[in-house]
Amino acid sequence: MVFGLFKYVDTMADAASKLKTEGIDDIRVFSPVPVDHEMDPVLGEKKNPLRFFTFFGGLSGLFFGALLVLTTAALYVLPRGGKPIWAAPPVLLVSYETTILFGVLMTYFGFLVLSGLIKNFYSTEEKICFPETMDDSFGLLINVRSDREEAVMKILKEFGASEVRTIAWE
């Protein structure tokens, strides 16, 4: 595994592009800010199923809120001066709020799962961290066989990496 540190995003994108043409696909980017806009054209747009978590959360919240109001009103009848036992406003309002509540919580859970943050707790490799990329630098982590590491390091240097090193993990 090779890690290269860059000061500029465009030079990093150029380096990643060159590596891609060399047939190296397992490239990860580390940055202090999102750089999707600059890196996606090179590395390809990512897809993630977060929306399904959000949708499932919202939908379950909708049913939870509606069922809570309707079933409890039916189970414990409180007659209120001829008003309906099942009324639309409380069902709509409570389920509206629970849709949002469950949607938010499931989105957060989905974020933890899909971003790999939960996995990080259990994986040695995923614990590799680059403090420089939290400040002002941008990093490329390239997963290649050890016999190709030398060539990758050369490309990174060629494209202006300020620092290049190999990373070992169990």
Partner 1 sequence: MSNHGHDEETKVRVDFKEVNRDIFSVMTDTGPRYYVVMALFAMAAVGLFILPWAYQIYNGQGVTGLNVPVVWGVYLVNFVFWVGVAHAGTLISAMLFITKTPWRRAIARSAESMTLLALFLVTLFIFIHMGRPWNFYWTFPYPNQRQLWLNFQSPIMFDVFAIGTYFTSSVVFLYFGMIPDFAALKHHATGWRKQLYSVLSVGWRGSDKEWHVHGKATMFFASFIMPLVVSVHSIVSWDFALSIVPGYTKTVFAPYFVTGALLSGFAGVITMLTLVRWAFPVTKKYITLMHYDRVGVFILVLSLTWSYLTGLEVFTGIYANTTYETEHLIYKLAVSPYIYLFSLMIFCNTVLPLILILKKVRKSTSAMFVMCLFIIVGMWLERYLIIPNSLSRKFLPYMWHDYMPTWVEGAITIGAFCAFVTMFMVMIKIAPIISPFEVKEDSGVPMEKGGH
Q: Which residues bind partner 1 (CB under 8 A)?
A: 7-11, 28-36, 38-39, 43, 46, 48, 50-51, 54, 58, 65, 68-69, 72-73, 75-76, 78, 80, 83, 87, 89-90, 93-94, 96-98, 100-101, 103-105, 107-108, 110-112, 114-117, 120-121, 126-131, 133-136, 138, 160
Q: How far is the CB of 119 from partner 1 (least distance, A)?
A: 9
CB-nearer residue toward partner 1: 149 or 160: 160
CB-nearer residue toward partner 1: 41 or 150: 41
Q: How far is the CB of 36 from partner 1 (least distance, A)?
A: 6
Which stretches of the chain are DSSP H helices?
9-21, 36-43, 50-75, 88-114, 117-120, 132-135, 149-158
Q: How far is the CB of 71 from partner 1 (least distance, A)?
A: 9
Q: How far is the CB of 20 from partner 1 (least distance, A)?
A: 14
CA dist 113 → 82, 106, 123 (Å): 49, 10, 14
CB-nearer residue toward partner 1: 28 or 148: 28
CA geometry: angle 26, 32, 35, nearest 5 deg: 60
CB-nearer residue toward partner 1: 49 or 146: 49
Q: How far is the CB of 117 from partner 1 (least distance, A)?
A: 5
Identity of residue 115: S
* Both structure tokens of 127: 């614990």
Closest of 132, 166, 130 to residue 147, by C-alpha: 166
CB-nearer residue toward partner 1: 26 or 150: 26
Q: How far apart are CA 14 and CA 37, in angstroms?
A: 14
Angle between helices 50-75 and 88-114 (to 10 degrees): 150
Task: Judge whether 101 and 44 are in contact, CB under 8 Å.
Answer: no
